[in-house]
Amino acid sequence: MSNRSASSIRNGALTLLIALFVLAAAFMISGRLRPVDTDRPEQEVMVEEPGEAVSPSPLDQGTSPSDVVAQLERAPKRSERPASGFESPFVGVAERLKPSVVNVTVTREVSGYEDFHDFFFRGDQQSPRPRRATSGGSGFIIDDRGHVLTNHHVVEDATEIRVTLFDGEERDATLIGADPETDIALLEIGKVEASWVADLGDSEEIRIGDWAIAMGNPMGLDWTLTVGVISAKGRSDLSISGGGPVFQDFIQTDASINFGNSGGPLANIQGEVIGVNSAVSTSAQGIGFAIPINMARDVVADLLESGYVQRGYLGMMPVELDDLKKEALGLDISVAGIFVESVSPDTPAEAGGLMATDVITAVDGQTIEDVTQFRLLVAQHKPGEAMELTIIRDQQERTLLFTLADRSDYVATANPSMNNSSHSWMGLRVMALTNPQARQFDIEVEHGVVVVNIEQESPSEGKLQIGDVIAKVGGKQVHTLSDWQQITAGLGEPARAVLVMYYRGGKGISHFTALKR
């Protein structure tokens, strides 16, 4: 037999063997998957694996589509199914958070041309007329009296605030107070169910790598939940679009936070709120920031008590203590603290003996590592409280004692270009005479607050002018911005006329006017 013939026989045999194998496999598959004879009761089920019974497919038996739909509707519902042990832990967090989260809608009056016609036909003749604009954000309920925590930038300059609850109910909200320096605001919407109140956690206990769950209304998409981790703590000196708060101690997370999430809660895996969503990074994707809930708690306590936040003020410029400064001052490289760049005149810092080039190493015995920590510790003191600083001067350690002033009497705490008051009264916004920006008015009087803005069509329009210094309101003396805030907060929007004493342009003799809403 030739080699060619032998090869042909082998190839033929191999082909036949493969064909038999395929045929046998097909027979076995068809035998396992094809429905059995329904005339034989003992074969009403087909065997998928030994010991496992599988119901025949209704479609294989010629069942109508309507019968299939009916069978699917009879399938066990989620609540009827046995617990599998594989349910996402975020389901429970979402169910706990949702009732506490609210949608905040804000109306503002803005100046500008409304349309093409306005621009071309009114623009040369008169200034743009005020118009109403709306924006949105988030918030969450912190007690059954209906107090809602949100961001200052969400409700800033609002003429109307409305809140939508998770059940769809809409309510008007009252602004109790706001703190631009931490970007916190507090609203009140009236009594709510106790089960709607968020559980507040402890932001000091969080760790990098912990779960972080954000809920809010990003891009107008109501009650959206996003999940990530705590990616960093203690973030500060952030450049945030629109301007960031003065006191920054942000929690950083990769849980998606978008525009509209602002003011909503950041929670841990137990569903406890650990932060107030506040900012997104415009220069990087997937990075968001939240205000620690412990910081927010302190602010809320002040807002509930007086409508604004009182902070201690020292009056110096702190900068980081780098290695070159340590070398120049003859300090060991291991020394931790901050460097005093300058001391402002007529401040508690000057009165207490602090000097430029001093190195502050501790506040009330607590070691200082950086400028952010130092600022936060000073701000945690109330005006009038004592504060002890440990310093190094001429390589010698010393202890100095200071009595702190009210920060709002020295530093702009709202819009720096406008004022340092967290609210307007009767259409007036004012700043402290001690504020450096007040010097542009060349004021001669020593006590009072200077008017820096007057709202259109307000009770004060036409009666007071920008640059006037208000010295008395309702017979009560106004020495400082704190006096102004306390007096006007007590008066509210009075139904009866209130007498205001002022100095025109901060000079000359006093004048009087009466204001009424």
The SS3 assignment for 79 reads helix
Q: Is 222 a catalytic residue?
A: no
Catalytic residue among 203, 262, 421, 460: 262
> What gap in Å lies between CA 196 and CA 96, rounded to an integer?
8
Which residues are registered as beta bridge partners of 72? none
> What gap in Å lies between CA 357 and CA 360, rounded to an integer?
10
> What gap in Å lies between CA 383 and CA 184, rounded to an integer?
20
- Residue 101: CA atoms inside 13 Å, Cβ hemisphere, count? 32
Which residues are registered as beta bridge partners of 512? 501
Paired tokens of 216: 């809010």
The SS3 assignment for 31 reads helix
Paired tokens of 245: 């708060």
Cβ(478)–Cβ(467) under 8 Å? no
43: CB partners within 8 A, 6+ apart: 36, 37
Paired tokens of 73: 């509707």
Q: Is 423 a catalytic residue?
A: no
Phi, psi of 219, rounded to the nearest 5 degrees: 55, 30
- For the chain, the farthest-separated pair of C-alpha atoms sits apart, in whole angstroms, at 135
Q: Is 510 a catalytic residue?
A: no
Question: What Å distances lie between residue 45 and 32, 56, 147, 389, CA to CA?
Answer: 11, 6, 62, 85
- Residue 122: CA atoms inside 13 Å, Cβ hemisphere, count? 12
> What gap in Å lies between CA 210 and CA 349, rounded to an integer?
41
Cβ(433)–Cβ(443) under 8 Å? yes
Number of C-beta neighbours around residue 248 at 10 A: 23
Catalytic residue among 153, 358, 381, 408: 153
Catalytic residue among 183, 302, 406, 409: 183
> What gap in Å lies between CA 213 and CA 271, rounded to an integer?
8
- Residues recognised as catalytic: 153, 183, 262
